[in-house]
Amino acid sequence: MHELHHECGVAAVYHLESATPSKLAERDGPEQVTRLMVRMLIDLQNRGQLAAGLTSFNPHRDDVLATYKQIGTVIEAFRLNHPAKSENILRDYSGRAAIGHVRYATCGKNDKDHAQPFERYHGRKWKWFTMAFNGQLANYQELKSELLNKEDYYLMRDLDTEVIMHYLRYELRGDDRPDLVQVFRNLSKKFDGAYNLVFMNGNGDMAVVRDPLGIRPLCYAIDGPLFAAASESVALSNLGFTQVKTLQPGEMVLIQDNQIRIERFAEPRPRTAHCFFEWIYFANVASTLDDRSVYLSRAALGKELAIQEHRLGIIKPDYNTVVVPVPDTGKAAADAMAYELGVPSVEGLMRNRHIGRTFIEGSNRADRVKMKFSPLREVLEGRRVILVEDSIVRSTTLKSLLSLIRDRGGAKEVHVRVACPPIIAPCFYGIDMSTVSELYAPQFMRGKIITLEEQQAMARALEADSLFYLPLDAIARCIRLPADRLCRACITGEYPSEAGKRMYELALRKHDAGGTNGRTYETGCG
């Protein structure tokens, strides 16, 4: 499902003042944890490839906060292919604390000015701050209007990160140094949606914040005086941390006065709403999110596909049948399905990892798919292929892949199996699918539960021999979390926040009126 854009990723690292440095920072020393940050951002690269950046804190530098950010991947942004240039960057931005960000844009432009972190300068150190953000505020337009209706407010960028920065600035007003827990408590009463934040000020205070619904994942770890946090656990475990913990919804890590504290800034909500797509598609397969393994969740989806295949009885697996994953996120599910069916799982589609993401290159998606994927005729020719896809959003990439497998791969039959229920509703919490009209499944479905006939119609439209989705109840089983702890809005139409519900109503009205252009959350909240 390579037509769906990835999420952003955030990270933070802090080495407290200590006579004994953490063993994880011994090589470069406590004043060089910026180097650890770059390693963390590389491990979060799957979440965003448009830009990367960091802000470091160094009390021995005139600019106690210094921000570096560039367009491109982490390797490109930090010039890692040019050792001398990257060394200059790391030396100039060295420090004992840093926050970092990799970006994919769900709103705003794709230029350096929109890259994060955002830094706000001020003569008083506790008002001089930097921040980075992962998620999306569903009530962005309402907050934006509220700001612009106030005297002397102006937005340079049309994105929710700048709105968050201005609300932070407002909470830090006055002559008295505020309680940061109270600051984020006040903001939680205004913000609706997904917002994981990393924050740092000129005093060296740091806050790592997870929204009260826990829509996006956030992990942290401590090794003696060394603290680190990231959107995914793999960024921490690869540094050598052995005890990676989940930051609970509505909690924040506060580092202040050389101490690390876990604080609750928002009252517990009746439910959590962890985005199920994190396990199915977004997250690195090596990560563990909210104590649930991404790999094991995807493998469980594959087992569910095999169980359903036996129940359907449409395909009689034999020596001529192979299971082929759509690289790379479909592989764990495909392998597990093949094992349960007793047939080979083969990499019949090879992805060129030196080609950029399909949504970045060119305008013709079919040509982009041909550049990025190569079918292996040696393993596909004359075979019955069960193609395992993690999900279908717009279907354009999948249709091109099916053509490749038949025409260049020589497959005799191609049967699509989707390790996810149909996507029937937009997302307003950070996934770039905000209109009903762009989605594939609603074109065929009369209700919220897909029928056999509707799946057959989809298969014909895609020129596949058959197509079947996983049922709705399989998601909670495979992730091993109760359904009421997951956000499944895009597959149920049921949103966990009030602004999300309003945006869905707006999206439906826009769809019924024939509107197809523009992201819903950029058109106002109606």
Range from 112-126, 349-363, 376-390, 415-429 carrying the lowest mean pLDDT: 349-363
pLDDT of residue 159: 84
Q: What is the dihedral of CA 32, 34, 39, 43, to 10 degrees?
A: 150
List 8, 219, 420, 525, catalytic entry: 8
| Contacts of residue 506, Cβ cutoff 8 Å, sequence gap at least 6 | 520, 523, 524, 525, 526
Q: How many CB atoms lie within 10 A of CB 414?
A: 25
Q: How far apart are CA 129 and CA 122, in angstroms?
A: 8
Provide the phi-psi class of 519: left if phi over 0, else alpha when psi is between -120 and 50, else beta.
beta
pLDDT in tens, 263-288: 999 988 899 999 999 999 999 999 99
Rg over alpha carbons for the chain, rounded to the nearest Å, is 23
Residues for the chain: how many in total? 526
pLDDT in tens, 440-497: 999 999 999 999 999 999 999 999 999 999 999 999 999 999 999 999 999 999 999 9
Residue 524 above 50 pLDDT?
no
pLDDT of residue 360: 37
CB 227 within 8 A of CB 253: yes
pLDDT of residue 111: 66
8 belongs to the catalytic site? yes
Residue 107 above 90 pLDDT?
no
Amino acid, res. 456: Q
Model confidence band, residue 514 (pLDDT cutoffs 50, 70, 90): confident
Q: How far apart are CA 79 and CA 480, in angstroms?
A: 41
| Contacts of residue 423, Cβ cutoff 8 Å, sequence gap at least 6 | 391, 392, 393, 433, 439, 440, 441, 490, 491
All domains of the chain, ordered by start, with CATH?
A: 9-135+194-269 (3.60.20.10), 292-522 (3.40.50.2020)
